[in-house]
Structure 1
Amino acid sequence: MSYLDRDTFGIYRDTDAGPGPRLMGADTLMGEDVYNRMDEDLGDIKEFMLDMQTGQVAYAVLSFGGILGMGNKLFAVPFQALELDTVNKRFILDVSKERLESAPGFDKDNWPDMASAEFSSEIHSYYGTQPGAGYRSSTGSVMGSGTSTMQSGDIGSSSGSVGSSGYNPGNKS
């Protein structure tokens, strides 16, 4: 099920008006599928963890593995490591299934302290992201960092990695 199917308010029907894919409700993204660049299914988003001091989305909790929801392993994936694939209505995480299987993970009854500096460093190092770096966009800019210019509907940016959209629900403009 894609975010369009979970859009109870109809805000994504016309991306030229309303929030569109640049701003999205977290509830419409929970359950969103996550694939890698080899088109392998890596699971789905179970939760978003917000940094209450910065107002940014810190991590997405990805559920992977198991059978019929049993035995799934959970992974805290830095939000900057995810890209929204607006064509296929899913997220892209640029890791192989094998690499994800060896990523630091946890089970539903034993969550780590996601606010600890040690945890943050470990996770960002594993996925090659920087804490507070913003969201990777299709233009190669990093959304959510730098200063806001608001020119041509653009939100401040600095150089970064390639993604597939300019969407950043954690950005404060």
Structure 2
Amino acid sequence: MTIPTQPGTNQSARTAAEVGGARIIGSTESFDRADGPGPFLMLSDSLEGNDVVNAAGEDLGEIKGIMLDVQRGRIAYAVLSFGGFLGMGNKLFAIPWQALALDIDHKRFVLDVSEERLKSAPGFDKDHWPSMADLQWASEVHSFYQADPYWRH
């Protein structure tokens, strides 16, 4: 998918993967609307709480936050909360931003991993966050999700 240089134009720029961004999937009719900033520009808090499903439609949890790489001016990760019961025992995962697709028709994210694979993903709990600036840790996370590290773009 190419990203228009300006909404409403047919010119194209680099693909979402080339710029390290999340793909946008769904109806293209909403791309040319002038009634709001989405889906190309969105408030990060409008994405928090969004459901995440896999390609089979299985529920993988919800977005708890968006992690920014302030020095590079990039979105690094979405923090996914998965498992547990009534918010207790949930495991958190740093999902590389470019591993996600934003499904604008269903207002959710799609992550191409099975529930079983996610259970074996590197995760953490709310009281013990990893050092996300550690490039070795970050490389392992990106490798797990088969995502090209955003800092190489």
Fold similarity call, TM over 0.5:
yes
1: CA distance between counterparts of 2:31 and 2:113? Answer: 32
- Normalised to the residue count of structure 1, the TM-score between the two structures is 0.68
1: CA distance between counterparts of 2:94 and 2:38? Answer: 26
- Partner of 2:101 in structure 1? 83
Q: Classify the secondary structure of the residue corresponding to 1:121.
A: helix
Aligned residues: 123
1:16 partner letter = R
Indicate the RMSD between aligned Cα atoms, in angstroms.
1.8
Q: 1:1-173 residue pairs with structure 2 within 5 A?
A: 16-17=33-34, 18-132=36-150
| Contact map agreement 1:15 1:21 (CA 8 A) in 2 | no
* Residues 28-79 of structure 1: per-residue CA shift (max 9 Å, x gap): 0011100001110000000111001111100110000001110000000000
| Contact map agreement 2:31 2:39 (CA 8 A) in 1 | no
2: CA distance between counterparts of 1:101 and 1:132? Answer: 24
Q: Classify the secondary structure of the residue corresponding to 2:116.
A: helix
- Normalised to the residue count of structure 2, the TM-score between the two structures is 0.76
2:33 partner letter = D
How many percent identity over aligned positions?
62
Q: Classify the secondary structure of the residue corresponding to 1:39.
A: coil
Where in structure 2 are there 5+ consecutive unaligned residues?
Answer: 1-29
In terms of fraction of residues, the more helix-rich structure is: 2
